[in-house]
Amino acid sequence: MCFLRRPGAPASWIWWRMLRQVLRRGLQSFCHRLGLCVSRHPVFFLTVPAVLTITFGLSALNRFQPEGDLERLVAPSHSLAKIERSLASSLFPLDQSKSQLYSDLHTPGRYGRVILLSPPGDNVLLQAEGILQTHRAVLEMKDGRNSFIGHQLGGVVEVPNSKDQRVKSARAIQITYYLQTYGSATQDLIGEKWENEFCKLMRKLQEEHQDLQLYSLASFSLWRDFHKTSILARSKVLVSLVLILTTATLSSSMKDCLRSKPFLGLLGVLTVCISIITAAGIFFITDGKYNSTLLGIPFFAMGHGTKGVFELLSGWRRTKENLPFKDRVADAYSDVMVTYTMTSSLYFITFGMGASPFTNIEAVKVFCQNMCVSILLNYFYIFSFFGSCLVFAGQLEQNRYHSIFCCKIPSAEYLDRKPVWFQTVMSDGHQQTSHHETSPYQHHFIQHFLREHYNEWITNIYVKPFVVILYLIYASFSFMGCLQISDRANIINLLASDSPSVSYAMVQQKYFSNYSPVIGFYIYEPLEYWNSSVQEDLRRLCSGFTAVSWVEQYYQFLKVSNISASNKSDFISVLQSLFLKKPEFQHFRNDIIFSKAGDENNIIASRLYLVARTSRDKQKEVIEVLEKLRPLSLSKSIRFIVFNPSFVFTDHYGLSVTVPVLIAGFGVLLMLILTFFLVIHPLGNFWLILSVTSIELGVLGLMTLWNVDMDCISILCLIYTLNFAIDHCAPLLYTFVLATEHTRTQCIKSSLQEHGTAILQNVTSFLIGLVPLLFVPSNLTFTLFKCLLLTGGCTLLHCFVILPVFLTFFPPSKKHHKKKKRAKRKEREEIECIEIQENPDHVTTV
């Protein structure tokens, strides 16, 4: 091996080039030996994956267990709201409260809710008989234990010019029944039974009261409707598999019955399937619990696995037919597995970072852990199981067996005497080879289309301006979408769309969005409530809220009763002896914690309740209220916390969902920069970074314009987009930068001809496999479909439209290759002239 120094090139450039060449050839040599090993022992590499799949697949069936804690999955694992909940629970234990309203609870526990909605134009307050019948039916249920009952009106119309805000009519009423379980397992089971009976009762009452619409919700409803997606999607996933199998089989076929590989396309998809089954078995053996977000793993793994399958098929077609089939398999491995190893490594790194402790959402972490195992097994199964299938198919081709019927292909003379249909079925393409096509594989319909039609069209000088305009439009919409990113933690996005939970949430959002949930305001340190400055601070903190406060009620009581309580002893004495003993104020006893030191009583903690006026975007405004109140607890003299059970899901949710994709993107960027001067060509990595960034921002912006929120599913899709883009752009770009043709246009044509078939086959199979997701009535699958459709579409746009045009404008330049070829041609001419001069009698032979 020798390296010639380019004129003007520094010595360091030569060393970097040598290092790149050594690494590249070392990896190719390793993959070549791996291919030889597989081709010499195909039965072993076929048997081991099959045994692993059977072993782990059976264990997956025996150990299958769904995840029962929805909060653990989708709520941020480490949040201030969970600490605040623990503090509130320790100060005011639930089992010490005997007569409080539902709004006083700081944990949802077991409950049943029902919204009674009157027909349009009617007043629900005039249908009191139906409401009371429903209420009595609930209270008469067995095993209900103690119920806390609260009610709320929705769609309220007030009396015009009313000073005391009298209600004229209301469209809906919401009734909530909370059950006391005290954390007991037995009572929790009783509460679960009560909730099931409650939902059945609501369905029965709906049939009896046609003039009222009943929408029910229980504490287990969200969990039930979350897992309902998996049940609804089972048949659709099987349809997706059939569609991918059909697409892979047809796209791997040719008219040439010898070189057609339909069964290899079929076996390639099955290889990915059994690797996913093995990964699922390993997940359940390690005590993993299934949840509906894992529904995306088959589609993610299929998109990467089939890319390796189609690339190996393309690599096989590029090998020389006159070589033994074992050498052809080794050459295909040497040509393909280097890039496939790199992309698989990036998959593992990005999803490995998503599974790191930095990820704050358990559903994302579990998904990324499973994806890492799936990628490793995917890679192992591709080079072992599918490689063995490729060996057997190559042996059949070398021995001239039919690719479908596995029978000997007759000679050309024998075929000429047979009917046309028989010639069509048994033809091996010997009549189709023309003088300008040296390889019979050039007749593959996708490769023929790219070579004869598409490559010439996309590189046409008149097409390029329109491609530039198209990219500017694409970039504009992407940028516009990125400015409108929404990170609302809406749990409805993960539920089945036709479920009772979604119906209840839609009605609640429509009629009960004028006020926020009741926010608990907990003062956890002793405070001088009798001090006028403290009273003013409390009023200032509660300004803008509707407050249910024992402090305000007590101050009002003192004012009306004309009692002075300006010092500690008087304040506490009147509070305990007069105020809290009156029947209308007795419920405030649960809101104050007293301590006694000798003969002196102290107030060590207390709680208030705040309700904020909100608009239709209730959740966003609640988050803003939370973000405004928390800093005040540190800056003011009053030490307090604010809490509502919904805060557990919304607290820092935006940061929690964006961190995984930022970490994954940083990991990809870091890997590409570290290998900038080591792998293949630095400009290849530079173009790859630009392409992946463009695709990622495009998917992010367009999915925002398509009303997709930043939840755990869309974040996982964005992590996958990074890898999917690298998977398809890397081979195309590296082939381009290493091409030795005279012009950039010829280089991009060569790249498309070499890798365009595999890219088109894989993206087409991937997109067709997504179609059945449209027919699953679930918001989770809708989000998955939208994000993956944009991922496949943007990648296809860049590989076949944007990159082929832009690479003809910008570096790397191909002039030095042209100069090298001219120098070599001139050197050959000089040698020929010398030979002619030395042997004038043999000019004709020269």
- Best mean pLDDT range from 390-399, 439-448, 819-828: 390-399
Tens-place pLDDT, residues 711-741:
888 889 988 998 999 999 988 888 888 877 7
Query: Contact at 8 Å (CB) between 521 and 640?
Result: yes
Assigned fold of 96-224: Alpha-Beta Plaits (3.30.70)
Average pLDDT over residues 189-202: 86
The yes-or-no verdict on residue 455 having pLDDT over 70 is yes
Q: What is the pLDDT of residue 803?
A: 93
pLDDT band with cut points at 50, 70 and 90 for residue 62: confident
pLDDT band with cut points at 50, 70 and 90 for residue 828: low
CATH architecture of the region 24-63+253-429: Up-down Bundle (1.20)
Average pLDDT over residues 483-506: 81
Q: Which of 482, 305, 475, 286 is nearest to 381 (CA)?
A: 305
Residue 233 has a CB neighbour count (10 Å cut-off) of 23
pLDDT band with cut points at 50, 70 and 90 for residue 679: low
Tens-place pLDDT, residues 124-159:
888 888 888 888 888 777 655 555 556 678 877 777
Q: Output the six-digit token pair for 622.
A: 């609640």
Q: What residue type is 134 in one-letter code?
A: T
Domains 24-63+253-429 and 96-224 share a fold: no
Q: Phi and psi dihedrals of 463, rounded to 5?
A: -85, -30
What's the mean per-residue pLDDT of the chain?
Answer: 82
pLDDT band with cut points at 50, 70 and 90 for residue 835: very low
Kindly report each contact of residues 625-632 with a partner whose C-beta sits within 8 Å and lies 24 or more positions away, as own/partner: 625/516, 625/519, 626/650, 626/651, 629/519, 629/541, 630/80, 632/541
**Which of the two residues, 661 and 209, has the higher pLDDT score?**
209
Q: What residue type is 759 in one-letter code?
A: I
The CATH code of domain 444-489+654-812 reads 1.20.1640.10
Tens-place pLDDT, residues 795-810:
999 999 999 999 888 7
Average pLDDT over residues 670-688: 68
Q: What is the pLDDT of residue 816?
A: 52
The yes-or-no verdict on residue 103 having pLDDT over 50 is no
Q: What is the pLDDT of residue 615?
A: 64
Please give the model's pTM, rounded to 2 decimal places: 0.86
Evaluated on CA atoms 717, 718, 721, 726, the torsion sign reads negative
Q: Count Cβ neighbours within 10 Å for each residue of 321-349 and write b for 16 or more, e otherwise.
A: eeeebbbbbbbbbbbbbbbbbbbbebbbb
Length of the chain: 846
Beta sheet of 111-117, edge-to-edge order:
147-154, 172-179, 111-117, 213-218
At 356 the three-state DSSP class reads coil
For 379-383, 397-401, 646-650, which range has the lowest pLDDT when averaged over its residues? 646-650
Q: Output the six-digit token pair for 472.
A: 């500017």
For the chain, the C-alpha Rg in angstroms (whole number) is 35
Average pLDDT over residues 480-490: 77
Residue with tokens 């009572």: 187
Q: Give 523's strand partners.
A: 606, 640
What residue ranges do the domains of the chain occupy?
24-63+253-429, 96-224, 444-489+654-812, 519-643, 819-845
Exposed (0-12), middle (13-18) or buried (19+): which is 738, by Cβ within 10 Å?
A: middle
**Which of the two residues, 709 and 761, has the higher pLDDT score?**
761
**Which of the two residues, 675 and 573, has the higher pLDDT score?**
573
Residue 754 has a CB neighbour count (10 Å cut-off) of 21
- Best mean pLDDT range from 12-16, 55-59, 483-487: 55-59
- Percentage of the chain beyond pLDDT 90 is 26
Tens-place pLDDT, residues 512-560:
877 777 788 888 888 888 888 888 888 888 887 878 888 888 888 888 8
Average pLDDT over residues 394-399: 88
Q: What residue type is 780 in one-letter code?
A: L
Average pLDDT over residues 634-662: 73
d(CA 404, CA 401): 9
The tally of CA atoms less than 13 A away on the side-chain side of residue 478 is: 17
d(CA 144, CA 138): 9
